Amino acid sequence: MKKLNEMREVMVAGIGLVQWGFYPELEHYDFGSEAVFNALKDADMEWKDMQAAFLGSVYQGTGSGHQVIKEIGQTGIPIVNVENACSSGSSAFRLAYQMVATEIYDIAIAVGMEKMPRGPIPSTAFRPWELQSGFNVQMANYANETVEYMHETGATVEDFARVTVKNRKNGAMNPNARFQKPVTLEEVMASRMVATPLRLFHCCPLADGAAAAILCSKDKLKSLKRSVTVVASVLTSGVYGEGMMMGGTMPSVKYPAEVGIVELSAQQAYELSGYGPEDMDVIQAYDTMASAELWDIEKLGFCKKGEAFKLLRDGVFNIDGKMPVNTDGGLMSRGHPLGATGLGQICEIVNQLRGEAGERQVKGAKIGLAHAMGAGPNSSVTIMKK
Amino acid sequence: MTDTVKKKIPLKEGFWKISSEADGKPQLIGSKCKSCGEVFFPKKEKNWCIHCNKTDLEEITLSRKGKIVTFSVVLQQPGGGFYKGDVPYSYGCVKLDDGLIIETLFSADDLDSLKVGMDVELVIEKLYQDEDGNEVETFKFQPLS
């Protein structure tokens, strides 16, 4: 079995984003196609150059990707729709990456798009009886895991509020974010309780949105200068024994998991890329809830369990800190169009590595990591370098 | 004459039983793998252990009591329209005395009185009333009286 890092080098030639927000009058194929147009322009390529397309979404139904491409052109290329909950976008990216790495295609496009149903996520990643029991409230599932995390580490709800404050401050510098106004600690702590102990501003907002990335072999690039190399694109699924309430799984007492799903995906990404957490200049951690960003940072290997909230307080995760996390505001500011989120994270890493992140720019960013995970459960890690 | 007595319907068949062996109190039904000893709730419909992949499961009853591992009080209606119970409501995880951790709704007069580590016991209670007036019941855990 060959490893992907022994195969052809794959570059990101272009990225495309739209502003994420609330678009009742638009359909997913409206902003999905706009993201594609933006990526083609960014890559200086034409639609007819694309040889395969992978489009990730969760709630857009049959042929969701085909609907997008119907707005762009019909060249007969293979289109595959990808549903992997919140890792749909990054899973689409991974498929496009693998197609180019294995020399099946020279140019492939990955798109993520979502027009969110209104109100709390009506996740069907649960059995019917679980849905009827009300176990599908992701904020409550994260809240349950937050309760355990607080007991184990001493992190407080104020610490989680600090994550929101950091990310909303970064989001204010992101013209594509749904929310571009900072919030104060007081505002977070005064927001209404959603599922104890998490308040509204501890939870990422929903959003409609899309993002796209074009992957190609080095010889197909129009601009080597603005390209970025993919050095790892990893996907894992549930590991026996690990509790994952957002995936409807209880931990096994008799056979606990030795390595959790997130740690497993991170380890594989570090092994494939040859880089470790200490090499990352810029990070996209998974902040569906403010508390989740902290344990995500720990599980990805950036610090020990229980250390993250202290490092946060010390400013280590700020843009000018040693380990900048969610420089574009994360899910907290961008919002969370499920199918697009993974690609939204990847786009920010690309912006940073290109030196094109404007006032959000991390000085000298050369290597970046993006982590998304979703109900399933699934966990996807992407590492790119300049 | 129309029978207007409400029927009680379990949320799902096979989750619990009420037998004289347990003084008429409800017991949850699980599956135990005779090969590796792992226990599952709800019971498995197929004879297949997802841990060791052997086909040697037997039906067992679980402890009626346990301790709260985590809980959250939910203050908004769950999305999708599947849940028809009361809001606010609470759910989380209980570690049963026989060692299994299960996900469950909690029942309490004051949901804010729930605490991690609290001793709780199994009850069968109404989840919601359907359009025909029947009571759909499910298992919950409540603080020991």
Pairwise CA distance, residues A210 & A193, whole Å: 29
Supply A40's token pair.
């083609």
Q: Does B129 touch chain A (CB under 8 A)?
A: no
Q: Tokens 């029927």 sit at which residue?
A: B7
Q: Residue B28's closest CA among B18, B39, B38?
A: B18
Q: Cα A131 to chain center, whole Å?
A: 25
What would you report as the CA-atom Rg of chain B, rounded to the nearest whole angstrom? 17
Point out the residues of A that are catalytic: 86
Q: What is the pLDDT of residue A124?
A: 73
Which residues does chain A have within 8 Å of residue B79's beta carbon, measured at their own beta carbons?
Answer: 117, 119-123, 136-137
Supply A166's token pair.
């950091």
Q: Residue A286's closest CA among A107, A163, A121?
A: A163
C-alpha dist (Å) from residue A213 to A37, A50, A113, A251, A382: 11, 11, 12, 36, 13
Which residues does chain A have within 8 Å of residue B70's beta carbon, measured at their own beta carbons?
Answer: 144-145, 147-148
Supply B81's token pair.
């329209």
Q: Residue A169's closest CA among A327, A20, A277?
A: A327
| A152 min Cα distance to partner chain B (Å) | 12
Q: What is the pLDDT of residue A121?
A: 65
Pairwise CA distance, residues A99 & A105, whole Å: 6
In chain A, the residue whose alpha carbon lies closest to the alpha carbon of B70 is A144
Q: How many residues does chain A have?
A: 386
ipTM over 0.90: yes
pTM equals: 0.95
Give the one of A128, A241, A250 whose C-beta lies nearest to B103's C-beta. Answer: A250
Mean pLDDT of B6-27: 90
B contact residues 56-95, partner A, Cβ 8 Å cutoff: 69-85, 89, 91-93, 95
Name the pLDDT band for B2 (thresholds 50, 70, 90).
very low
CB A333 within 8 A of CB A170: yes
Give the one of A132, A192, A250 whose C-beta lies nearest to B101's C-beta. Answer: A250
In chain A, the residue whose alpha carbon lies closest to the alpha carbon of B114 is A196
Which residues does chain A have within 8 Å of residue B77's beta carbon, measured at their own beta carbons?
Answer: 119-120
Inter-chain contact B38–A255, Cβ cutoff 8 Å?
A: yes
How many other CB atoms are there within 10 angstroms of residue A133's CB atom? 25
Pairwise CA distance, residues A52 & A366, whole Å: 29
Q: Residue B137's closest CA among B22, B15, B24, B44?
A: B15
pLDDT tens readout for residues B45-80: 999 999 999 999 999 999 999 999 999 999 999 888
Which residues does chain A have within 8 Å of residue B106's beta carbon, measured at their own beta carbons?
Answer: none
Q: What is the pLDDT of residue B1?
A: 44
pLDDT in single tens digits along all 386 residues of chain A: 777 778 899 999 999 999 999 999 999 999 999 999 999 999 999 999 999 999 999 999 999 999 999 999 999 999 999 999 999 999 999 999 999 999 999 999 999 999 998 766 666 788 999 999 999 999 999 999 999 999 999 999 999 999 999 999 999 999 999 999 999 999 999 999 999 999 999 999 999 999 999 999 999 999 999 999 999 999 999 999 999 998 889 999 999 999 999 999 999 999 999 999 999 999 999 999 999 999 999 999 999 999 999 999 999 999 999 999 999 999 999 999 999 999 999 999 999 999 999 999 999 999 999 999 988 899 999 999 99
Q: What is the pLDDT of residue B4?
A: 54
| B46 min Cα distance to partner chain A (Å) | 16
| A197 min Cα distance to partner chain B (Å) | 7
